Amino acid sequence: MKVLAALSGGVDSSVAAAMLVAAGDDVTGVHLRLADAEPAAALHGCCGVADAEDARRVAQVLDIPFYVWNFKEVFAGAVVADFVAEYARGRTPNPCVRCNERVKFGALLERALRSGFDAVATGHYALLHPDGGRVRLCRAADRAKDQSYLLARLGQSELSRALFPVGGETKERTREIARSFGLRTASKPDSYEICFVPDGDAGGFVERALGGARPGPILDPSGAALGEHAGIHRFTVGQRRGLGLHGPEPRFVLALDPERGAVVVGPEDLLARSGLEAEEVRWTAGQAPEWIGAVQVRAHGPEIPATLEWTEGDRARVRFARPEGPIAPGQLVAFYAGDEVLGGGLIARGLG
Amino acid sequence: MQTPTSIYLDHAATTPLRDEARAAMLPFLGERFANASSLYASAREARKAIDEARERVAAAVGARPEEVVFTSGGTEADNLAVKGAAWHAREQGRDAVVVSAIEHHAVLDPARWLARQGFRVTEVPVDEHGSVRLEALGRAVDARTALVSVMWANNEVGTIQPVAECARIARSAGALFHSDAVQALPWILVDAAVADLTSLSAHKLGGPKGVGALIVRRGVKIQALMHGGGQERGLRSGTYNVAGIAGFGAAAEATVSRRDTISARVAALRDSLARLLGERITGISVNGHPTERLPNSLSLCIEGVEAESLILLLDAAGIAASSGSACTSGSSELSHVLLAMGVPRRLATGSLRLTPGAGTTVEEIETAAGRIAEAVRTLRR
């Protein structure tokens, strides 16, 4: 099989490529250039050039062809602009979800297929089980590393051409495999930040993109003003820190109101929701399932037992077995039946 | 999997080492290791090789031996010319630099760096063939201009620039004229008397990588970038790269002695490649000047094809080609040269540079045309 391995420069994608090479596949490595790297930052191992060099070195050791492909424009438009726009309207985007659906299994997969490849491989921790004419997407063997949530919006046309070779491994085992191939990424630390926000300050990044702070009021649930904030883009539903409020009771962000530019805060128990409504839903099988067992509403978040109340077009309503929170609009909701991913959508709103 | 026979069509990126160059280098990679600046017999042998190479390089461009300043390559020669001339001229009250918009980054980036140091830098536009607009150049040059830099021939599209006219414009304002002749020297006459400063590189004409020269005409004053042992009349300190310089001299002499014959033959190969591709691929256009173009240069835009995918397929088919210059094709940015020529972004994404060389055969051209057409068909499916 002719496989295009997306090499990020990290250990997981390195091992994914190595496992395919060992299995006898015809593998070509591609590193995606997604942003302009600051040369000085690259020296400190933050992003960009240093990762591209690690990716190239892995390809050399595996003795596979290697290319750097420039996806800056598509990434800026489909991921970064979406990230900024979502925060600006008081929602909490997940850029990795967007990148997976629009870049890695969007533009890259399309180009790979056109260039004669049969599949695109990444270092995601998730399992693919062919079942009759379709492919089931399931949680990874290593639940602590499971990334099926981030892939929940992929459909059959993407999953049938995707390979996640490390999905059956533990992280420790992945590092062992990297060492056994002599890959220099073996001991590279995991990255947790958003790749285009290396300093971790998403609020500051959005603010620079928006051209400045957008101050507004902090309100309590009754509408009484408690203080000022620098912009709703700096907050997420459920957030406690950064409000600058003093008082005996801890207060949490309950809602973000883009119309008034307001951050609504209150005690933790007001975060609980009985369910949620989702939009832009994509079902893994191509059509809505009969039932779901649970949902997950943030990366590495807990599984919430839930039932599907209704679906209509690309919208769906979910009822939780018991109230849960926080539910942040804009976040991905992934639908599960046991270990299997049934689909994913964006949270439109939590239900009272 | 069977690997197809490889065909090298990227001579603008680099060329194979000529036998004459290798032979000239080998002694200095072995027993003749002495430092050319030392004072004993073996050092004199090394010094002799350098001085002979200096004569050969000078002869290749019609310069005097003492006008040759050996550098680590074309990039250093360009940096030395642009920064060295600008720094010197600032002391004389001139603080402006004029370059063409299609210069190699080894000229453009030093110029932009000078702009951050307070120099006024003007990038002069080119026409649709990639020729610098002389009237715009004339307007850009004034009494503040320290240096005008226009390349002898462009590395991406091969357009030969009107350097004599550019030099006249520069000198009429009392400015120095520099030309990057790295791509031109292997293929066409380069007369160093035209410019005050001329950049050359060894590896584009069958010499080794890591050696070049800046021709600094007599009486032209620039400042050094490297300070130290005072080699090259103080303009380029650093222990001599004896083997590299010896190889450069041999390659330059051998190239120039047979240049007319080789250029005519390679131009015919290039034209037949263009014809074969034109017959087999629709939506293909040739970039650069129709006549004033380097004989081995074939820059194409292919509609509906992304260069990155095409290069990958051609690589798998054994064809070594570039989407633009070798430096940027590591991750292809849209070519600043094509954009400056007014090529639409949509077309510039599908740029392909094919540069045959002295060793390219008719059979290779025919095979390559077939494989390229096949790759384009695949991508357009």
Interface predicted TM-score (ipTM) of this complex, two decimals: 0.84
pLDDT at B4: 84
pLDDT at A46: 42
Residues A332 and A224 in one domain: no
pLDDT, chain A, mean: 93
Q: Which of A270, A291, A311 is the last residue of a domain?
A: A270
For chain B, the domains span: 7-16+258-380, 19-257
The answer to whether residue A55 sits within a structural domain is yes
Indicate yes or no: CB of A69 within 8 angstroms of CB of B315.
no
With a cut of 90, say whether residue B239 has pLDDT above it.
yes
Indicate yes or no: CB of B309 within 8 angstroms of CB of A65.
no
- The DSSP symbol for A37 reads P
| B213 to A314, B24, B53, B70, B78: CA distances (angstroms) | 66, 18, 11, 4, 9
Single out the residue of B158, B130, B164 nearest to residue B295, CA to CA: B158
CA separation for the pair A94, A86 (Å, rounded): 10
SS3 B179: strand
pLDDT tens, position by position, B353-380: 999 999 999 999 999 999 999 999 999 9
CA separation for the pair A172, A176 (Å, rounded): 6
Task: Compute the 3-state secondary structure of chain A and give helix, strand, coil in percent, each to the nearest 5.
Answer: 30, 30, 40
A33 contacts on B by Cβ (under 8 Å): 331
Residue B310 φ/ψ region, left for φ over 0, alpha for ψ in the -120 to 50 degree band, beta for the rest: alpha
CB-CB: which of B313, B332, B333 is closest to A115? B313
pLDDT tens, position by position, A112-128: 999 999 999 999 999 99
Contacts for A190-197: CB closer than 8 Å, 24+ residues apart: A190/A10, A191/A10, A194/A83, A194/A95, A194/A96, A195/A34, A195/A35, A195/A47, A196/A34, A196/A35, A196/A75, A196/A79, A196/A80, A196/A95
Give the residue on B whose Cα is nearest the Cα of A2: B1
Task: Domain of residue A36: give its range.
Answer: 2-180
CATH architecture for residues B19-257? 3-Layer(aba) Sandwich (3.40)
CATH of domain B7-16+258-380: 3.90.1150.10
What domain count does chain A have? Answer: 3
Residues A12 and A152 in one domain: yes
Residues A298 and A265 in one domain: no
The answer to whether residue A199 sits within a structural domain is no
Single out the residue of A111, A21, A126 nearest to residue A69, CA to CA: A111
CA separation for the pair A10, A99 (Å, rounded): 16
Confirm if A306 and A320 have CB atoms less than 8 A apart.
Answer: yes
Instruction: Write the DSSP string, B183-246.
Output: TTTTTS---GGG-SEEEEESGGGTS-TT-EEEEE-TT-----S--SS-TGGGTS-S---HHHHH
Residues A96 and A50 in one domain: yes
Q: Can A195 be counted among the known catalytic residues?
A: yes
Place of tokens 């240093």: A50
Looking at chain B, which runs of residues are DSSP E strands?
7-8, 68-71, 96-100, 120-124, 145-149, 176-180, 197-201, 212-216, 284-287, 298-302, 319-320, 351-354
pLDDT tens, position by position, B198-207: 999 999 999 9
Residues A29 and A127 in one domain: yes
pLDDT at A59: 97
The answer to whether residue A197 sits within a structural domain is no
Task: Check CB contact of A82 with chain B, cutoff 8 Å.
Answer: no
Task: Check CB contact of A114 with chain B, cutoff 8 Å.
Answer: yes
Q: Can B301 be counted among the known catalytic residues?
A: no
Residues A295 and A158 in one domain: no
Task: Check CB contact of A33 with chain B, cutoff 8 Å.
Answer: yes
CA separation for the pair A165, A162 (Å, rounded): 10
Residue-level pLDDT, tens digit, chain A, 352 residues? 999 999 999 999 999 999 999 999 999 999 999 987 544 444 444 445 688 999 999 999 999 999 999 999 999 999 999 999 999 999 999 999 999 999 999 999 999 999 999 999 999 999 999 999 999 999 999 999 999 999 999 999 999 999 999 999 999 999 999 999 999 999 998 877 888 998 889 999 999 999 999 999 999 999 999 999 999 999 999 999 888 888 888 999 999 999 999 999 999 999 999 999 999 999 999 999 999 999 999 999 999 999 999 999 999 999 999 999 999 999 999 999 999 999 999 999 999 8
CA separation for the pair A255, A328 (Å, rounded): 8
Residues A21 and A121 in one domain: yes
pLDDT at A245: 86
B332 contacts on A by Cβ (under 8 Å): 70
Place of tokens 């300190």: B237
